[in-house]
Structures are given as structure tokens and as C-alpha cells.
A and B are shown apart, each in its own frame.
Chain A
Amino acid sequence: MAVSQDLLDILVCPVCKTPVKLTGDKQGLKCSTCRRVYPVRDDIPVMLVDEARVDPS
């Protein structure tokens, strides 16, 4: 079971409200504005700022 398309269609970064996109390895959801990557753990998106890492690129 992966993250459902219903959620992928609507999820935004909780900080800047930019839509997030699934990363290539499907282990994260990335905000293209602030470059935060929110982890996906056991197919559950973790949309918490303190759990996100900031991608350098």
C-alpha cells in the first residue's frame, strides 16, 4: 500500500502551503519552495516541520 492518490493530490507543505511532490524513491514529499522533504514512513506521510529535512538542491 502506498500513499493514496487522494492525499497526493491535495497535500501541501504546512509551512509555505506549496503543493508537495513525491520524491523519486517515494520515501519523501518535497516542497519546491522551501525545499523541505517530509518523510513517508510505513506509507504514512509525516507532514511535521520538526521531522522534515531541508534538501540542499
Chain B
Amino acid sequence: MTARGQNIGQQRQGQQKQDDQKQMDLVRDRFTRTAAAFADFALVDRVAEAEHLLNLIAPSGNERALDVACGPGTLARTFAKHVAWIAGLDLTPAMLERARKDAIANHLDNFRPLRGNALAMPFPDATFDIVVTSYSIHHLPDAVAAIREIARILKPGGKFGLLDMVVPEDASRAAACNHIEWVRDPSHTRALPLSEFESLLNSCGLRILARGTEDHPRSLDVWMRTAGWKRGDAVYEDVRRLLEASIPGDTAGFRPKILAPPSPKEIAAASDARPDMELLHTAAFLVAQKQQ
């Protein structure tokens, strides 16, 4: 390589490092700022999804497991009762603190919290029998690097369980969907369509054993609240405007609709009488096995 080529390479690496650091700061800030609201949501509303993933993986009870970007312990608290022990790795201290408190309250003494970066995990190759992650890939700067890192630390024959939102296969809808997600939450990088997840797993030596999707209706007001925004906030209004504009032809794939208007009594009581909206998120479940 020429000296100039090397310089450019180093500059690129330097830029990538800065971008990754910036993204990590965004994620940490977001999940610190909204720690309580997000944890309440994740630990209540995502229990059924965690149980579904557990059933697909069907642990025998002796496994060493890891929940990557565990947040408040969304998957770890469900898996803990069914494996030897489970580590929970996350960037945000407030999330790990909540996860640990929740584990103690639920008498789960085999939860092992630690702070770390999903793209450079502090584990040797072939360490875990089970690795799971939920709603994390769309917060990471590099999905390919993340899956490669997960494949690295899985034992051959070990299972990877992925739960995440997916965007429509249609590229224009996918871009519009990701844009709205990013306006709501700047720590959102990019959610993938299901087919891209599948080829990514395959390319990292993870053979898919089970796949499925599930639609989850969300109230716009509640969804915005878990990201820290309320009616009247500029971000709330921007997202609402974008969602309303996407209704004809469902151009962002959220299948949004405006809910029934509030009753006259509610209108009289509220300062903002606009009805709430509903949107649909599609969750994907993928279970894959690392090739022997």
C-alpha cells in the first residue's frame, strides 16, 4: 500500500472509531434519559416476546448464556430460570442497575451484569451455548460487525436467538420507516428487513432453525412517551406529521391510522383534543445455530 493509501485507511479507521463512539454516546444518553419509562415498558410489554423466543430456543438448563444489549433484562430475566447462568451485557449503567434490581426482586441469583460494547465483547471465541438479543441491532452502528461478533463468541452448535423490529422489504418504505424511527429516537441507526437479517446470519455461519414475525399495534402517544416525548414537543409533532402523511399508500409501512376521536367529556378535559394514532411494528424472531 502507498503511504497515501495507508493514510487514507488510517483516516477512515479514525473516522469510523469516532462515529462508533458518537453512536455509543447517543445510545447511552437516550437510555439514561428514559431509563424508568423504557424499563417499565420493556419489562412488561415484552414478556410474551421473551417467552416466545425462549420456547423457540428450548434450553436444557445447563447452558452458559448471554443477553447482548440486555437493557433492563428484557430477555435475561425470562431465560435465567432455564439456563445455568446468563450474563447481561449493556452500555448504559442505568439499565444494568435496573436489570440487577429486577433480578434480585425476582430471586434470580444467576444473572451476571456487565458493561461492554456489543461490537467488541470481552469474551473469548466459542464461549456461550446461547446468545440472545432483543431490539438492539437497530441501535448499533454496524449490524454486520454485531452479528459477526455474536457468531465469534458462540460455541459451535450453540444457538443465537434474535428478536428485533423489522422494516418492510420494499426499499422506499423501509427508508421512510427508518427515517421516522430516527426522528423519534436519534439513537436509532437502521432496522433491517427480515430477508437481510436472514442473509446476514447465513453469511456469518449461523444456520437458521426457526423464523417468524408478529405485528404489534402501538399507541403513538405511548410509543412517543417511552422515547421521552409528549404532545406539543417538536419531535412528537414531527413524527405525528410524518406518520399522518404516510397514511395514503402506507408509504412508511407502519399501517398507521387515526383512532376514534375522544368523547366530548374528554375533549373538555384535555388541552389537546386530537385523537391518538395507532401504528404497527413488526417484530421478527430468528433462531440460528452456529455451524459445527
Chain A positions near chain B (C-beta within 8 angstroms): 4, 6-7, 10-15, 17, 19-20, 38, 41-42, 44-51
Residues of B within 8 A of A4 (CB): 85, 112
CB atoms of B85 and A11 under 8 A apart: no
Chain B positions near chain A (C-beta within 8 angstroms): 21, 64, 85, 87, 91, 93, 96-97, 100, 112-117, 120-124, 127
CB atoms of A47 and B115 under 8 A apart: yes
Q: Tell me the bound Cα distance from A22 to B21 in angstroms.
A: 27
Residues of A within 8 A of B91 (CB): 48
Residues of A within 8 A of B21 (CB): 50
Q: Tell me the bound Cα distance from A42 to B121 in angstroms.
A: 20
CB atoms of A47 and B116 under 8 A apart: yes
13 pairs of residues in contact across A and B, judged by CB atoms under 8 Å: A6-B112, A10-B127, A11-B123, A12-B123, A12-B124, A14-B116, A41-B93, A42-B97, A45-B114, A46-B115, A48-B116, A49-B117, A49-B120
Q: Tell me the bound Cα distance from A57 to B114 in angstroms.
A: 26
Residues of A within 8 A of B124 (CB): 10, 12, 17, 19
CB atoms of A10 and B123 under 8 A apart: yes
Q: Closest residue of chain A to B21, judged by CB?
A: A50
Q: Tell me the bound Cα distance from A13 to B91 in angstroms.
A: 16
